[in-house]
Amino acid sequence: MSPAEKLLRDLIALRSVNPAFMPANDPRAGEQRVADFLASTARQGSLAIERQTVFENRDNVLMRLSPLSKVKQRVVLAPHMDTVGHVTMPDSLFTPRKQGNRLFGRGACDTKGSIAAMLAALLNVARSSQRPQETEIVFAALVDEENSQSGSRALVASGFRADLAIVGEPTRLKVITAHKGDLWLTLRTRGKAAHGARPELGRNAVHAMARVVNLLETEYRRRIARRQHRLLGRATVNVGSIRGGTQPNIVPDACEITLDRRTLPGESDAGVIREIRSFLKQRRLAVEVLDDKAMAPCWAMETNPKLPLVQSLMRVAKQRAPAGVHFFSDASVFAHGGTPAVLFGPGDIAQAHTADEWISIRSLERATAVLTKFLQSLP
């Protein structure tokens, strides 16, 4: 068994479900067990360790491999420790299970596979004679990516910067230089309550919202679909929930929908909100458009693929052209904080969050080899 596979087996067995998805004090919640394990492993590799408290008992773990001479550049490897989950999930998901070339278990690809590959690669470099002479390598295991990206936001807010962030996500070993952003909005219509036997005396807020939903899912969707990005395709909108009324014999006086708007590089949250308000106003629809203030900004991200460090990683990965993904990640937080960022990791996002999540062992080993070679190529 390779060191990366052994690391991944140990990580899967450590429950680290994001607390946002679990009841208070659920024993399966929190990243602290993984953080403690990683810190212990780093000490065995003689790496300098720093812990950054983000929430109580939820720390980012930073491990540094510093050059002997003056630091001229910094590269950060940044996977996240938390996984998704739910209160009824079976404990069997935390028992690693190998079947053929696949290793099954919660977090196998999202993103404990990346943690294992990145840490194994860093330890390979630390123990070899090909350590970078001018580059500091930082392994940053982050909390809370699956909910609010609080770990990466705290690290960036502390002033941390690097010349490249490689964010661990299941990308099928592709170097990803762009991804979409995400904006959640609540739209509300107002009506007038009345008895269901005399609906003409009221004003039905659900009926008004039905027209709003139809226009958003047809005309507005076609409008934004005309915006194309060479790596990411189209901007999208999805009405994900609707709530209105209390019972059948009362005309509803209020109705709300929530929508998910996936943005492209160059689009801003404020611009999208103005666009939707204008779209509805032009159609004489009285609708309140409310930004979800509880949700931290999830901006679209695009990094120049011609940057020397990005080019170097792509060469080692034997990738000729940049690629994009539709999902959001910590890479955007790094990029908007001043650190060029890409995504790279073993596994396929299609397996993430599934009941039988798995990762290919070949993918894990290939990721470790690519990252080791890239880190050893740094000056």
* Residues annotated as part of the active site: 82, 145
DSSP tag of 227: -
Question: Please, what's the largest Cα pairwise distance for the chain?
Answer: 84
Residue 13 in tokens: 């067995």
- Whether the Cβ atoms of residue 378 and residue 166 lie closer than 8 Å to each other: no
- Could you give the C-alpha distances from 257 to 184, 185, 205, 216, 268, in angstroms and in order? 10, 8, 11, 11, 21
- Whether the Cβ atoms of residue 20 and residue 44 lie closer than 8 Å to each other: no
Question: 61 by DSSP, 3-state: which?
Answer: strand
Amino acid identity at 352: A
Q: Of all helices (H) and strands (E), which one includes residue 108?
A: none
- Whether the Cβ atoms of residue 252 and residue 245 lie closer than 8 Å to each other: yes
CA angle 287, 208, 201 (to 5 degrees): 115
